[in-house]
Each structure stands twice: as structure tokens, then as C-alpha cells.
């Protein structure tokens, strides 16, 4: 336990080194608790990391600020947690979460976004010094530990671009305005403005994306020809007519389950590429094509999928969008300007049959289906 008698810097560093094991436990607990809070709040962040101050860095700090630190408990940043958000607006959301869930040491916390002048030098970000409470299970083993009588650590919150600024600024060694030559300082100001504008534009893009997704149901219903085929529209269509009912028909023809909750975020990306390749650009066009070819799509899938079981049976059923896959294969087989090989490649089915074998099977099934097609 630290003595009340002031230590020399070397003695404080030696004490810190002797207790590194306890501080490592504190770091792990802090990261675990912060991660759980973010997940429970549903906040989507870029990443979260923890760090311990290096003994050499502590020694340098004690030398630079003589007399400020009498014990290790006075050094509030021995353990740090860094939360990197995607957007600047998320920094405020994480900050509100920290303030509501932690005992904040306001005397040592700082919101740098409120410090700078319009021609500020530095990066915006929020630094909190916090204390765990008895209600936080990750810290149960540490609270009251004699080696760490005052559990405090730092939480830094930055956006990706704020983080990029801070890391580059740190690497260049520029800590304050006076340290920077005037010519370099002017460029720093310009860069700060560009990064702030970029952060705002990224936030605007995120809002536009959310607004676009929110209006999709109404637009698909009222003006499908004006809705382009893209990842968001395809992801929406996978659960809607005519795609979902046609997928169900394919699954029923095969006697398998349609995997409606299939966890594959890349699926809409691949399906969008497939539809673009075969010339489908709007939701209205896709709706008309599926209505026109629905019986052929089901017949083709029912004949082809049993010949390519290794490509889909490990999933346990038919994936969402299977009707779109077979529509694209039909188009590729029927149109001389398209290649079934390209469709197979876009599906990323490596590890099953060879690409050449799969293409051969697809074309054979298509030819057989055309030969046995009922006359109209």
C-alpha cells in the first residue's frame, strides 16, 4: 500500500512496475465492462482497446511535472480505455453513456471539443477519468484491493478521423501551438478543417442511408421502377413478394426449409452483383421478370440443386434469394452475351465443385429443361 510520505519519481515507477499485474487486471475489467455497456446500448462503434502506461512514459511524466504526483493514485491515466467511433456524432452518444454509468472524476476529465477556438490546434475528443462502482461485476474482484486503493482510469472517446489526427500529430511530435513552426501550423489548420468537414459529410451519408432504407417500403409499393437494385433494396426484397414467395416455392419443390434468418451479410451484395450482371437495374424490372419466369425458375432450381448438393446442403436448406440466383443462371444460359461462369464466380462457391464442373452441370440442366419444356 502506498506510503503517505512523498516518493521520488524512481520509487513511484518501481512501485508501478511491481503492481503491473494488478493494473493489467484493471485494464481487462475496464475493457470488458465498456464493451458490455456499448453492446447493451446497441451502439455500433469501430473498436475499443485498453492500454497500460509504459514505465518509461510514467518516468518521463513524473520528471516533467515535478511535485504534482505524490502517489500512484494521483496518476489518473495509468490505465486507459479508448473507444473509436465511426462518426463524430457517436462520440456524444458514447459520452452520455459513460456519464450515466460511471462515477466521473470531473476534476480530471476534459471535453476537448469545447476547448478550442475556431482556428483550434489539436483534435476534438473526450477524456473521462472514472471510478468503478460496486454494481459493476467486472470490477468485483478489484474493489477494496489493498494494492489498488483508488481505482481510477481514463476513457478516451474519438471518431475515426479524430483518432487519425491525434495519432499523426503525436507521431510528428507536435504537442502544442508554440512547438509548431508557423508554416507547419497553417497546414495543420487547413487539415483540421478538412477532417472536420469529412466527419460532417460521413455523418450526412449515414443519415441519407438511414432515410433511404426507411422510405424503401413505400417507394417499392408506389413506384418500383424508380427504385434501383442495390444492396439495401435487395436486402429489403428478400423478405417481400415476389422474392420471398418464389424462394418458398423453390424450397418446397426441394422438400427443404427456406433459411429465412440466414446470417450472411454478404448475400445481398452478391445478389446485387448478379442482377446487375444480367441487366436488371430496377425493382420494377425485377418484379416483371420474376412474374414472367416464375415457373421456369422453380423448375430449373428443382432440377439443378440436387446435382449441386455440396454447394448448398451444408447450410441445411435453401438460402434467401435462391430464386434470384436461379433467375440469373437462366438468363446467363439463355443469353449468348452472358456467361454462366461469371454467375458461378459471383456466388463464391469455391471449395465445392470446380468452376468448370459447375458451369457444365448448369448448362446440361438448362438444356434438358428446354428440351422437355411444355409447348405453349
Give SS3 for 140: coil
Banded model confidence at residue 175, pLDDT cuts 50, 70, 90:
low
- Nearest 5°: phi and psi at 201? -65, -40
Give the Cα separation of 53 and 75 in Å (integer): 10
318 pLDDT above the threshold of 70: yes
Grid coordinates of 216: 424503401
Minimum mean pLDDT range among 33-37, 44-48, 113-117, 188-192: 113-117
Which pLDDT value is given to residue 118? 45
Enumerate long-range contacts of 236-243, CB under 8 Å, 24 or more apart. 237/283, 237/286, 238/267, 238/268, 238/271, 238/320, 238/321, 239/320, 242/287, 242/290, 242/291, 242/294, 243/290, 243/320, 243/321, 243/323, 243/324
Which pLDDT value is given to residue 287? 97
Residue carrying C-alpha cell 460496486: 134
CA 147 to chain centre: 38
Give the Cα separation of 226 and 282 in Å (integer): 7
Give the Cα separation of 346 and 274 in Å (integer): 7
Which pLDDT value is given to residue 154? 95
DSSP state of 102: S
Q: What is the pLDDT of residues 103-145, one digit of tens each?
A: 899 988 876 555 455 445 445 678 999 988 777 888 877 766 6
Give the Cα separation of 246 and 261 in Å (integer): 16
Which pLDDT value is given to residue 119? 47
Give the Cα separation of 106 and 307 in Å (integer): 67
- Nearest 5°: phi and psi at 181? -60, 150
352 contacts 315 by C-beta, under 8 angstroms:
no
Which pLDDT value is given to residue 115? 46
The whole-number average pLDDT for the span 363-374 is 87
Minimum mean pLDDT range among 188-202, 227-241, 319-333: 188-202
Give the Cα separation of 374 and 210 in Å (integer): 46
Angle, CA of 43, 47 and 48, to the nearest 5°: 95
Give the Cα separation of 240 and 243 in Å (integer): 6
Grid coordinates of 184: 507547419
Which pLDDT value is given to residue 353? 65
Give SS3 for 81: strand
Check residues 89 and 181 and name the one with the higher pLDDT. 89
Amino acid at each position: 500500500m502506498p506510503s503517505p510520505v512523498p516518493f521520488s519519481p524512481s520509487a513511484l515507477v518501481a512501485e508501478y512496475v511491481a503492481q503491473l499485474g494488478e493494473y493489467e487486471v484493471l485494464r481487462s475489467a475496464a475493457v470488458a465492462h465498456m464493451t458490455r455497456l456499448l453492446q447493451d446500448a446497441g451502439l455500433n462503434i469501430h473498436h475499443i482497446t485498453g492500454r497500460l502506461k509504459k514505465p518509461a512514459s510514467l518516468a518521463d511524466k513524473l520528471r516533467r511535472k515535478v511535485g504534482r504526483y505524490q502517489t500512484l493514485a494521483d496518476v489518473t491515466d495509468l490505465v486507459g480505455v479508448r473507444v473509436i467511433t465511426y462518426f463524430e456524432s457517436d462520440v456524444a452518444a458514447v459520452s452520455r453513456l459513460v456519464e450515466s454509468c460511471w462515477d466521473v472524476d470531473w476534476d480530471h476529465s476534459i471535453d476537448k471539443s469545447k476547448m478550442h477556438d475556431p482556428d483550434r490546434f489539436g483534435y476534438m475528443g473526450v477524456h473521462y477519468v472514472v471510478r468503478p462502482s460496486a454494481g459493476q461485476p467486472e470490477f468485483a474482484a478489484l474493489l477494496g484491493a489493498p494494492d489498488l486503493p483508488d481505482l481510477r482510469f481514463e476513457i478516451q472517446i474519438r471518431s475515426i478521423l479524430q483518432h487519425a489526427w491525434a495519432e499523426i500529430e503525436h507521431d510528428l511530435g507536435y504537442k502544442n501551438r508554440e512547438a509548431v513552426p508557423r508554416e507547419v501550423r497553417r497546414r495543420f489548420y487547413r487539415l483540421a478543417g478538412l477532417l472536420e468537414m469529412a466527419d460532417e459529410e460521413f455523418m450526412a451519408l449515414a443519415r441519407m442511408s438511414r432515410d433511404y432504407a426507411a422510405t424503401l417500403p413505400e417507394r417499392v409499393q408506389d413506384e418500383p421502377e424508380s427504385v434501383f437494385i442495390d444492396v439495401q433494396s435487395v436486402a429489403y426484397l428478400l423478405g417481400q413478394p415476389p422474392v420471398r414467395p418464389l424462394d418458398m416455392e423453390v424450397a418446397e419443390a426441394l422438400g427443404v426449409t427456406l433459411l429465412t434468418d440466414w446470417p450472411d451479410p454478404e448475400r445481398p451484395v452478391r445478389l446485387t452483383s448478379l442482377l446487375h450482371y444480367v441487366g436488371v437495374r430496377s425493382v420494377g424490372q425485377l418484379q416483371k421478370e420474376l412474374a414472367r419466369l416464375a415457373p421456369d425458375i422453380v423448375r430449373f432450381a428443382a432440377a439443378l440443386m440436387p446435382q449441386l448438393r455440396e454447394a448448398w446442403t451444408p447450410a441445411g436448406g435453401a438460402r434467401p434469394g435462391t430464386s434470384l440466383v436461379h433467375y440469373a443462371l437462366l438468363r446467363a444460359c439463355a443469353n449468348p452475351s452472358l456467361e454462366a461462369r461469371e454467375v458461378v464466380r459471383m456466388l463464391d462457391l469455391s471449395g465445392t465443385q470446380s468452376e468448370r464442373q459447375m458451369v457444365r452441370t448448369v448448362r446440361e440442366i438448362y438444356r434438358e429443361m428446354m428440351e422437355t419444356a411444355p409447348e405453349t
